[in-house]
Amino acid sequence: MSYWAFFHNKVLERQEVREDFADTDWDCKDFDTRLQAQYPLKVHAPRCVRKRAEYTRELIHTCFWYYKLLLHSSSPFEVKETPNFGLGLFLKDQERVKKGGLLQPEMLLGLLFDVGEAEANALHKLGYPSIYGTCVMTGPVALMNHQCHAPLFFTKPTLSSHIEEFQQVRCIRVKAKLNACTIPTQGELVADYFGRTKLSGNFKCQCIRCTK
């Protein structure tokens, strides 16, 4: 979880760094070199990580995995600023999703780390964007913004059996609603967070549809 926060704050949110890392085809060693040139981990890594060399290796390994999913030249995604909602997730090429089908099921993952109700509420109050129930979400799905009536929604958490390093971590994927849909090239991936459930009375949605 702190590895995602590190990658998000230091790489994705810093435009120059993000653009420098995007569309490259580094292997883990290249990535390590570039990351450490930008942020010597002895200074910049979270304090709990700096304590042990194996944690630093784990940080690099995990951040490399996120880099492969989101910034590597082979990734189907792009991470860009949106006009109103900070970072958003975009598809490089047009993609068609079948009725009820999963979109990029090997790549478009949201990993869930249970932090308990009190911590989740506290983070929610601080405006942390990726809270799912009592969990903090990491990975590509955490970058997807909400839009009412979007043709995509999130699946319920299941055990991930696809990603070796993240086995036993609960995750969600992204599914098309009842109708098939096409996401255009350069289209932002947005999901209807609330599906068919009615929004509570005092929730004021700020999505593009609702503020148009």
Site for Zn ion contains 194 (CB under 5 A): no
Rounded distance between C-alpha atoms, residue 182 and residue 133, angstroms: 29
User: Whose Cβ is closer to Zn ion: residue 55's or residue 85's?
Assistant: 85
Q: What region, left, alpha or beta, does residue 186 occupy, with left being phi > 0 and alpha being psi -120 to 50 degrees?
A: left
Nearer to Zn ion, 168 or 197 (CB): 197
Decide: is 190 part of the binding site for Zn ion (CB under 5 A).
no
Degrees to nearest 5, angle at CA 143 with 55 and 92: 110
Long-range contacts of 191-200 (CB under 8 A, 24+ apart): 191/144, 191/145, 191/146, 191/147, 191/150, 191/152, 191/153, 191/154, 192/146, 192/147, 192/148, 192/149, 192/150, 192/151, 192/152, 192/153, 193/146, 193/153, 193/154, 194/146, 194/148, 195/153
Quote the radius of gyration of the chain (alpha carbons, Å).
17
Least distance to Zn ion from the beta carbon of 92, Å?
Answer: 26
Binding flag, residue 210, Zn ion (CB under 5 A): yes
Rule CB under 5 A: which of 129-188 touch Zn ion? 148
**Residue whose CB is less far from Zn ion, 180 or 210:** 210
Least distance in angstroms from the C-beta of 181 to Zn ion: 18
State the Cα–Cα distance between residues 24 and 211, nearest whole angstrom: 36
Is the Cβ of residue 28 or residue 205 nearer to Zn ion in the bound state? Answer: 205
Return the range that interacts with Zn ion (CB under 5 A); candidates 62-70, 78-86, 186-194, 200-208: 200-208
Site for Zn ion contains 205 (CB under 5 A): yes
* Least distance CB 207 / Zn ion (angstroms): 3
Query: Which of 42/198 has CB closer to Zn ion?
Result: 198
Nearer to Zn ion, 5 or 148 (CB): 148
- CB-based contacts of 84, cutoff 8 Å, min separation 6: 206, 208, 211
Which region, judged by CB under 5 A, interacts with Zn ion, from 9-17, 106-114, 121-129, 197-205? 197-205
Q: Least CB distance from residue 188 to Zn ion, whole Å?
A: 14
Applying CB under 5 A, the residues found at the interface with Zn ion are: 148, 205, 207, 210
